[in-house]
Amino acid sequence: MSTAHNDKKGPDEAVLRIPSGNIWAHAWKIAAVCAAIGFVLVGMGWSLDPHRFPFSWLFAFVTFLTVGLGAIFFVAIQFLTVAHWSVTVRRTAEFFAAGVPVFAILFIPLALPANVETLYEWYSHGADHAAPAAHDEHASGESLIGASVAQAQAAQEPQAPAAEAHDDPQHALHGSLLEKKHGYLNYGFWLGRAAVYFAVWILLALWLFRSSIEQDKSKDKRITARLQKWSPGVLALFALTLTFAMFDWMMSLEPTWYSTIYGVYVFAGAAVTIHALVTVVTLGLKSRGLLGDAVNVEHLHDLGKMTFGYMVFWAYIGFSQMMLQWYANIPEEIVYYHYRWHAEGWRGVSIFLVVGNFVIPFIFLISRNVKRRLALLGIGCGWLLVMHVVDIFWFVMPNVQRGHFSVHWMDLAALLAIGGIYFAVVLFGMRRHPLIPVGDPRLERSLHFQNP
Amino acid sequence: MASDQTKKPDEGAEPGSPRPDYGPVALPPSKREPSEALHVEEWEVEKRPALYLAEFESARDVLHAAEKVRDEGFEHWDVHTPFPVHGMDKAMGLGQSHLGWICFFMGLIGCVGGYVMMYWMNGVDYPIIIGGKPPESIPSMIPIMFECTILLTGFGAVFGMLGLNKLPRHHHPVFYSRRFERCSDDAFFITIEAADPKFELEETKKLLKSLQPKHIELVEEEVP
Amino acid sequence: MSHDPIAEIGETHLLPPDTTFHHVTESVSRVTENKAPRGWWILFLLSLALAGCLLASLTYLVTAGVGAWGNNNPVMWAWDITNFVWWIGIGHAGTLISAILFLFRQKWRTSINRFAEAMTIFAVMCAGLFPGIHTGRPWFDYYMFPIPNQMALWPNFKSPLMWDVFAVSTYFTISLLFWYVGLIPDLATLRDRSKTAKRRAIYGAFALGWRGSNRHWRNYERAYLILAAISTPLVLSVHSVVSFDFATSVLPGWHTTIFPPYFVAGAVFSGFALVMTLLLIARTVFQMQDIVTMKHLELMNKFMLATGSLVGYAYAMEFFIAWYSGNPYEWHVFRSNRLAITVGEGGVSMAGSYWWAYWAMIFCNVLVPQTFWFKKLRTSIPWMFAASILINIGMWFERFVIIATSLHRDFLPSSWGYFSPTIIDITLYIGTIGLFGTLFLLFIRWLPMIAIAEVKGVLPHADPHHGTPGDHAPLDAYVAAESPAE
């Protein structure tokens, strides 16, 4: 901003960095304390209920991982669309992207064989039945249908823990299907793919973040040119890794179920979340006297519009999947909704998800006046963040005990642990760099951006 | 704008009637050939001032001029531009358009109406069960409810806009000016109507002159 | 000036910075005022001849019945629905350009949106023809609408085909209104320029007495914004509903959850390609190179690259899940009917009946747009013209692949069949292209094919703060970025 000398509205340097006395300078400590409490509780929970632990951990892990991946998307799409409105809020997303490497470490508990066995039926199956049986397509076709019907019926009874999975009738029925998928769903390959995903994400996140930080000092316009040039590649890699990671970690929780739209579905949720989170964090920074006029109602209005748009997109994708599987009513597909509708408790969660993540925020956020009234916008976006947690809960937790609804204190503890660590890393990074990309060539335009 | 009704010519000027260059005052609409319509003196026309038309060079000039007219406290005045000029609403002191509300309620009617239609037709009047789905199963009703919402919102937007703008209207006094024909090309105008309580032939002209327009013209209309 | 383009990050002026308002008015309006160039007449007569061929085929079809088509027992749907989906998909780019790009403030759209919207309307008209005639008794088409009839029956609202009726008719209506609202100020321009009483009467009547009043612009812009905001979900819904026609059934190859967004992406993809084809012709015939610049064309090619990649993603998902699902029927459709490479005892063979259609689709839709990664090809007019045509061929094949490969071998091998088009199938399809061409050429002659008022609005001097140092403009949209020179 030092270059824009004739600029009356330009923020002065003081509000672009977090001063040591500001609450935001200490926020990472609060997050770290949350993380510490979370880890102690999760540790206890793990020893008390080893069946529940991996589900709770996966739930919390995906809840926050999607935030980090959403941040990569947010940053890359701004360069792809050569947007200027978002320049002053982009740094917040860059901070969240920069925290992504932490998930590679947080993934370790999920990768432990004992936990993989609890989470994924295909693990124990593949271990014993690696030898391929006769491949009669029609025979396996029959058992496929049978498996799903039995699965649906089995929902009435509590499922045996996976440790006893070999005696489970459901397991036997899945056998031939899981055999077919063994080439993809086996521990070694699964682990290898995870390594690739993390390698890609860390590379993308750090490249985006470091380039922007470098530009703060050098003011080199070629960095923007480079980011613009490679942003399509970033997004292509992002789309493929996100999709397959979610197939591997989430979709294969129900190994016979499948949906081609699944990757898009998770992406939509991630996009809503990062836009809502950037809004909330920006409002939080502003409320403590930071950012000055660099982020004003115009930028927040646009963030609100984007949040709203992606929320509608989420609803559209969710509806598409649900409507098609409901309408066709094929056993191996409908089980997914069976567990989330015809099971005590889960129907309530499903309705809450539709109403809370679409109907209410739609009516609330549709008005221009609400999006431009910052307190209301903050409430709307904060609400969507809570609903993101519910969304991932709805994705993962019906598999703990199929057909039964349960909430466990360990779910909350895992959220504290993973969220605490992630936010501690992000907030720590925030202290060390300017809060807006001060070297961006489009910064000045962004400062004067106005909604038509 | 409200008093437009009282000062319109006997008949609306037909958009199709040819307009020879006979000065600022329009003839009563005529279905004759242009050459015949030129005989101005044959007509006993009582005229009165309708509005001042001031032409400006650029979007910037007209915006700054509009700010001054606004500050003078005029009500019945307008800015005419070939394209919407950003910041003009503020320069004219206009608030938000109310079209959003019209559309919102139209959309609501569409959504509820779509649901009621399907529920009544397939569930009440002639219940049919297809594919094992009960007559009122919501997922299969969402597409049509959505389309009905969009359709009525769109009607609200288009017809609401025309209604708020009091269009179509082919007989506005500005059309009596030949200069005004360039308004849809590259000219920018401010009009101050005689209906404005602050309108005075000399004073208003002086004010407009002080805004340094390219040209000022008094457009007259006939007394009904 | 802070709002001038920054060359280092690839920004340039969208239009030459000295373009005047009058130049825009003049170069667009003159097309409707001057005599039509010879190229126009050639194309028009050609289109008219094809439209005549449509009329003849329709007459024959209605008198002979739909048996005149090549449809047979397993392939109950063939070219009729393929053409319907193809045409409706083409329309989507118009709405995308006019609505979605508007919401995203992509100001470069102003040079092409009118054109694309007109394309939408005519494409939807061509599309609507097929469901109208495929029943064989078009005089009973009113059964599709919820109006009382002598059977005391109502339409079945649980049928995706009924959703289609609502979606397509809403889409047509809203697109027409959107188009017309955009036309009003430009019709006023034509009215004010008219030299004859007839022109003034006709353009004047449709211009509704528009006088560029700012009090009107205020509501007008709000209406435009609302129409854009509702057209965006509408365009998504229309092709989603079209995809539901297939995806709600339990037919392998049709029933897959990614269909709705995949169809939308494909629709936009093919529509962009057709806009490109038409634009390249019109721009040359009417010499509009200074309003539709290479930058516009390049940006459109980037869009084709993006949507083509999305379509490629969807193909990959379908294919992967067909295998991953473990469903033998699903996998059969993909492996044997489409991909058609069988590695068996007899070595590698192309055993499937429609392998050529599948591979034509992959080539045209996935590989061809990928060439737009290279700036040299992205800015080569001959290549983009060829690519835009190839893409539309590919998108036609996509619908044909989905429909025919899935249907021709159903669950019962004894009823397996094969579809070959009859001459009526072919003439009907070609005929709709003629109908489209006729309407489009008439549009070009009689209406401003570029949104005059909107293009003026994005010129640098349209900004009331232009050229005032220290006084910052609210908009700086006259710069468009392209990737830096390579």
CB contact (8 A) between residue A445 and residue C3: yes
Pairs across A and C, CB distance < 8 A:
133
Nearest residue, CB atoms, B125 vs list C154, C197, C466? C154
Query: Which residue in the set B84, B130, B171 is minimally distant from C158, CB to CB?
Result: B130
Residue among A85, A184, A442 minimizing CB distance to C324: A184
**How sure is the predictor about A147, in pLDDT bands with cuts at 50, 70 and 90?**
very low
Q: Would you give the distance in Å from CA C412 to the centre of its chain?
A: 37
Q: Would you call A61 exposed, middle or buried from its count of C-beta atoms within 10 A (0-12, 13-18, 19+)?
A: buried
Tens digit of pLDDT at every position of chain C (486 positions) = 345 677 777 777 777 777 888 888 888 888 888 888 888 999 999 999 999 999 999 999 999 988 899 888 888 888 999 999 999 999 888 888 888 888 887 788 888 888 889 999 999 999 999 998 988 888 888 888 888 888 788 898 989 999 999 999 999 999 999 999 999 999 999 999 988 999 999 999 999 999 999 999 999 999 999 999 999 999 999 999 999 999 999 888 899 999 999 999 999 899 999 989 988 988 888 888 888 888 889 988 998 999 999 999 999 999 999 999 888 888 888 887 887 766 666 555 555 678 888 889 999 999 999 999 998 999 999 999 999 999 999 999 999 999 988 888 878 888 888 888 999 999 999 999 999 999 999 999 999 988 999 888 888 888 887 654 333 333 333 333 333 333
Residue B139 to chain A, least CA–CA distance (Å): 6
Return the pLDDT at C331. 87
DSSP state at residue C258: T
Q: Work out how many CB contacts closer than 8 A connect A with B.
A: 16
**Arithmetic mean of pLDDT, B129-136:** 81
Residue B168 in contact with partner chain C when CB distance is under 8 A: yes
Kindly indicate the confidence band of residue B7, based on its pLDDT and cuts at 50, 70 and 90.
Answer: very low
Cβ distance A228 to C483 less than 8 Å, yes or no, reads yes
Q: Closest approach of chain C CAs to the CA of B128, in angstroms? A: 8
Contact B139 A368 (CB under 8 A): no
Q: Are B161 and C181 a contacting pair at CB < 8 A? A: yes
Q: Give residues 114 to 153 of B whose Cβ lies within 8 Å of C.
A: 117-118, 121-122, 125-126, 128, 130-131, 133, 137, 140-141, 143-144, 146-148, 150-151, 153
Tell me how close the Cα of A367 comes to any Cα of chain B, in angstroms: 9
Model confidence band, residue A133 (pLDDT cutoffs 50, 70, 90): very low
Q: How far is CA B96 from the centre of its chain?
A: 16
Instruction: Tell if the CB–CB gap between B139 and A327 is shorter than 8 Å.
Output: yes
CB A411, CB A56: distance < 8 Å: yes
What pLDDT is stored for residue A358 in this prediction?
Answer: 94
Cβ within 8 Å, pair A324-C8:
no
> Long-range CB contacts (< 8 A, 24+ apart) of C334-337?
C334/C253, C336/C409, C337/C253, C337/C405, C337/C406, C337/C408, C337/C409
Across the interface, of C233, C257, C481, the residue whose CB is closest to A324 is C257
For B147-213, the DSSP string reads HHHHHHHHHHHHHHHHHHTT------GGGG-SGGGGGGTT-EEEEEETTSTT--HHHHHHHHHHT--
Do the chains contact at C258 and A260, CB–CB below 8 Å?
A: yes
CA B14 to chain C, closest CA, distance in angstroms equals 8
Find how far residue A86's CA is from the centre of its chain: 21
Amino acid occupying residue C458: V
Higher pLDDT, B147 or C408: B147
Neighbour order of strands in the sheet with B77-80: B77-80, B188-193, B47-56, B215-222
Residues from chain A contacting residue B139 (CB–CB below 8 Å): 319, 322-323, 326-327
User: pLDDT tens digit string along A31-56?
Assistant: 999 999 999 999 999 999 999 999 99
Pairing relationship of beta strands C11-13 and C479-481 according to DSSP bridges: antiparallel
- The number of helices, as runs of H, and strands, as runs of E, in chain A is 20, 0
Select from C8, C260, C325 the Cβ nearest to the Cβ of A221: C8
C1 touches chain B (CB under 8 A): no
Write down the pLDDT at residue C481: 39
Of the pLDDT bands very low, low, confident and very high (cuts 50, 70, 90), residue A426 is very high
In this complex, is the C-beta atom of A323 within 8 Å of any C-beta atom belonging to chain C?
A: yes
User: Mind telling me how many Å the CA of B86 is from chain C's nearest CA?
Assistant: 7
